[in-house]
Amino acid sequence: MGKRFLIYVNKFKDPELKVTNRIKEYLEARGQEACLLIVEKDWKTGERQVPVFPENIDIMLVLGGDGTVLQAARETIHSHVPLIGVNLGSLGFMTQIEPSAVETALDRLIAGDYRKESRMLLLGKATLANGETREGLALNDIVITRSGALRVILLRIYVNGSFLHEYQADGIIITTPTGSTGYNLSAGGPLVEPGAKLLMLTPICPHSLNHRSIILSPEDEVEIEIPLGKEGKEQEVGASLDGANSFPMRTGDRIVIRQSAESAQFLQLSRVSFLETLHQKMNE
């Protein structure tokens, strides 16, 4: 019995749909069902509608870069459809399949020669001083950064209700293992195998000589408080969940970050795929 594939494609990465149609035709020629979901952005407004996903999908192929994989994963969290990425971007830590080897990968997916891997998600809940609340999920990271004038910000960090430290920095990143290859890596944080379960706190340009990333248990709860800044001035910062869901925060606001009960489902064609990718990227 054939599988039902959903091909989720970032049209900016495959504008003429050459790779998309190549995959669709290959699957259909082997008795599989292939549905297309073409994601386009309105470049005048920068907005896009969240697509309507077909039901009863067995495997989702995501064509694009790491950003496209993140987007697809967020939009299908509640459907629990396992996904695998085809790299049409540059770095491609979250994509396993290169276009040059797509047919071999499709044969393995059709045959069921893969394993499923659950990736942890972060749940961020912000309580603002004006009484509003904001909430969202992140597969990669939740980032608090300065906004407005170029000045260092103060952030008070609590873990499980106990005060940990007050950072003076450009911001802080709370990341999952999946997100370790993103902003965390650029900020000097550690690389982590994406199937692991842990939280990482990585300061962004800390104004200190001894600040390093902190590794926490996935059961830990992190709270970030925005206090008064230097000289008692009000602070304005920005909160960003996976770089997509963003909102302003200011002095008096707090955000609590913990592991979500939800998870993202990925397909792995190789047990050492992350290490293979890491080896390749480190030697480029």
Q: In the sheet where 214-216 sits, what is the strand order?
A: 214-216, 199-204, 171-175, 141-146, 236-241, 245-250
Residue 116 CB coordination number (10 Å): 9
Residue 167 structure tokens: 């950072």
Residues of the chain predicted below pLDDT 50: 42-46
Question: What's the start-to-end Cα distance of the chain, in Å?
Answer: 41
Residues with active-site annotation: 66
pLDDT value, residue 45 = 46
Residue 52 structure tokens: 């309507």
Decide if 138 contacts 121 (C-beta within 8 A): yes
pTM of the model: 0.85
Decide if 218 contacts 199 (C-beta within 8 A): yes
Enumerate the β-bridge partners of residue 146.
237
* Length of the chain as a residue count: 284
8/17 Cα distance (integer angstroms):
11
* Region at 243 (left for phi over 0; alpha for psi -120 to 50; beta for the rest): left
pLDDT value, residue 274 = 66
pLDDT value, residue 44 = 42
Beta-strand (E) ranges in the chain? 4-10, 33-39, 59-64, 83-87, 115-127, 133-138, 141-146, 153-159, 162-169, 171-175, 199-204, 214-216, 222-225, 236-241, 245-250, 254-268
Closest CA to 193 of 182, 180, 206: 180
pLDDT value, residue 43 = 42
Task: Enumerate domains of the chain plus CATH numbers.
Answer: 4-114+269-282 (3.40.50.10330), 122-261 (2.60.200.30)
> 38-50 pLDDT, tens per residue?
887 644 444 555 5
218/197 Cα distance (integer angstroms):
6
Decide if 13 contacts 68 (C-beta within 8 A): yes
pLDDT value, residue 230 = 82
Give CA torsion, residues 59, 62, 67, 71, to 10 deg: -50
Calculate ∠ Cα 249-253-257, nearest 5°. Answer: 90
